[in-house]
Amino acid sequence: MGALASLALLVVLSIGANNFFTANNFFASSKKLASNDSLHFVDTSAHPMRVSFNGWSGDTAGALNNLRAQLSDILDGREMRHSIVSTKIVFFEPNDSLHNIYSFHPDESVLPASTEKLFTSSSTLWALGSKYAFTTKLDLAPGAKIEGDRIVGNVYLRPSGDPTLRSADLDLVASGLQRRGITKIQGDIISDLGGENPLSPEAKEYMAAHNSSEIAVHDSVVGENGTIASVDSTAADDEENEDEAEAGALSTFPNFSLDRNIVTVTVIGGHSKGSPLGIRVNPSIASIVVVNHGRSSAPASYRVRRVGRGRHRRTIRRLVRGTMTLHVSSSGEPMDARQTIVISGQFPARAQRTYGFPIKNVPLAMASVMKSRLQQNGIAVTGQPRVERVSIDTNSRTIAEKQTSLIDLLAYMNKHSDNYLAESMFRKLSTISQIAASAPDERARKLMRSWLEVCNVDGTDCTLIDGSGLSRSNQVSANSVINLLAGIKQRGMFSLFTHTLSVAGYDGTLRNRMKGTAAQFNAHGKTGTLNGVTALAGYVTTGDGQLAAYFITMQHFRGGPWVYKRDQDKIVEALASFKYADYQSAMNEPSLRTMGSKSAKQ
């Protein structure tokens, strides 16, 4: 199996070894999103970062030493003795130069967890450009033409990899045809496997000056057998728990994505024992066939008992009536014309359970759903859905399209720490053909490595395996994260990029943190949590309006992360409250004298 195919089979989040999963949270999340028809983005422009610092003429050194002592005091807690701590904080001067304020083990190689999305999202923004929009469009095939209210000939479905695209979004494409007065397509709906993914002018200029074949990539994960090391999908990540993250699967063709490439199969027990099972498939895809051999058993009843003590106390349910031998499986390959889902065994009457499977042939599924949506919107299609690889015709005519702004997508990705979107952006970088590479993953890493060079980040400090940060093979340092944040500020991406980050006490994974403090509505950041790892990185403005960048992580601890997160919040809150004038006189205040006498960790 080739590297691209191996990566394509990677299923992000909650998909078990049997290639299916059942989860009430998944079903609830799917239902919630389905009720909205499409992904909605939240505009947080009401809380932009306001930087107003023009310098200060007082005792800068004395004030900063007192701040350092306060930060040191926060990190001197007993819990820190049982973890590895790495921290770096800088202030930006009015000319955007950096003033190192505080650092503790800044060279330590640490797991970034979801703060890796800072690297993924900023690389994607640089490579594609701030004005980039994912388009899902219908083009007329060569020889096809519009005659009155009909299209005579085939149409091409040409997506560009929008991972937020839902089946309902294809109604917007159908609406574009309706506005043209089209009521019939006399031809096939063809998913085009070709496509171009151009670089932004800035990235193109940089790559032209630096031969991509000479860019070293030291962190490739292609093994001897050609497979790619998979993301650790069993890793716990608190962002997913907070935001009811939905499952997603990466398809073989990165430009094609629909409903996160997951089809859900809901099995519904009949009214009585022996009756057939009801099956509901969402989305309904002509190329996915369900073979139902299942039957209903007697209605289920359970014996419930409580076991354990204290926080280990739990409820156990044991089936005492009804039979549960249900087996649901999926078969098919990425280019097969049919994917078969087989249901067998017994399932209790009037019960319900939902399973999810990766869609195997996503291009064919998209063409099938496109045809179905056109017909539901009153546009008859006489042809069939199919798949081809077509050479791009620069004169091809687009007759309808749906767009998603890159900035909106990155905002949802970072604020909600969406691993599927992050992996999709990594895949998007892998499709840019202007970059010389022997494998798609190498192409993506070369683009990310090039962006780090633009930001003067020492690439030897970074091992970037994936786009989400779930892999425990990822490595960064506090120095590299801070230099990345500095590069974003110094290269004019600051206002756009901070729009994609969570706002403390307001939205995303920071919505419940730092409320009622000077950091609320002020600090913009990216959280990251894996088992034994918690990290926080981003920007905050001080009481003087000076911009600060921070990276704080605690790792290799046991137990929950919340005590460490509270210390992270205290550090950001201290930065948000900092004023040179207040901290200059801190040594004269009895309540702060002890704090100021502590040695700063630098």
Domains observed in the chain: 51-110+477-602 (3.40.710.10)
Q: Given CA atoms 61, 66, 70, 75 in this order, what sign does their dihedral have?
A: positive
pLDDT at 83: 86
* Contacts of residue 560, Cβ cutoff 8 Å, sequence gap at least 6: none
How does pLDDT run across 111-160, given as a tens digit for each residue?
Answer: 999 999 999 999 999 999 999 999 999 999 999 999 999 999 999 999 99
Strand pairing category for 150-152 and 184-186: parallel
pLDDT at 44: 52
Q: Which two tokens stand for residue 530?
A: 């894996």
Residue 425 has pLDDT above 60, yes or no: yes
Cβ-based neighbour number of residue 218 at 10 Å: 10
Residues 450/514, Cβ–Cβ less than 8 Å: no
Q: Which two tokens stand for residue 65?
A: 């030493």
* Contacts of residue 81, Cβ cutoff 8 Å, sequence gap at least 6: none
One-letter amino acid at 132 equals Y
How does pLDDT run across 435-468, given as a tens digit for each residue?
Answer: 777 788 888 999 999 999 999 998 888 999 999 9
Distance of CA 7 to the CA centre of its chain: 16
Average pLDDT, the chain: 84
Q: Backbone phi, then psi, for 186, in 5-degree steps? A: -95, 75
Q: Which residues pair with 573 in a beta bridge?
A: none
Between 251 and 125, whose confidence is greater? 125
C-alpha–C-alpha distance, residues 410 and 428, integer Å = 13
Q: Which residues pair with 352 in a beta bridge?
A: 268
Distance of CA 580 to the CA centre of its chain: 38
One-letter amino acid at 267 equals V
Residues 125/144, Cβ–Cβ less than 8 Å: no
Residues 250/261, Cβ–Cβ less than 8 Å: yes
Q: Which two tokens stand for residue 569?
A: 């919040």
Q: What is the dihedral of CA 535, 536, 537, 541, to 10 degrees?
A: -160
Return the residue matching tokens 């990466």: 250
